[in-house]
Amino acid sequence: MAKIDRDAVFNKYGGLCAYTGKPLGPDWQVDHCRPRSNWLWHQKWNTAEVDGRENLLPAIKIINHYKRGLTLEEFRARMSAFHLQLAKLPKRTQRPKTVSRIAYMHEIAALFDITPQKPFSGQFYFEILQSG
């Protein structure tokens, strides 16, 4: 991606993550709101649409990683159940993989302001901005 295009995506929401509204770090990523894999299965590959600025959103790296190839609605459903996953996390463990997974989940939760008692709001930052 050309630097000018990457800069345009970065500035789309003033240097904030399109999903969380939190500041993008130096390792931020460009997310395809409608995933590339979705385009491949449902219609002819059209690079202009897939990689068009309308389909590209700035995302914090861990959020883009967690979203993966999900559509917006699939990601919303995943985030809507996130507080339930948090509640199920073990409180104590010695297993390094589990410790790492717990830290990963808590980092995502903090970015969306989710707790086991407080679920995802149902809207992503860019949607809140669009609705006024």
Burial 50-74 (b: 16+ CB within 10 A, else e): beeeebbbbbbebbbebbeebebee
Handedness of CA 16, 26, 31, 81 (dihedral sign): negative
Q: What is the pTM of this model?
A: 0.90
Can you say whether residue 68 is alpha, beta or left, with left for phi > 0 and alpha for psi between -120 and 50 degrees?
left
CA distance 83 to 106: 10
What six digits make up the tokens of 120? 């995802």
One digit per residue, the tens of pLDDT, for the chain of length 132 reads: 788 899 999 999 999 999 999 999 999 999 999 887 765 555 555 666 677 888 999 999 999 999 999 999 999 999 999 999 999 999 889 899 999 999 999 999 999 999 999 999 999 999 999 997
- Looking at the DSSP bridge assignments, the partners of residue 57 are 31
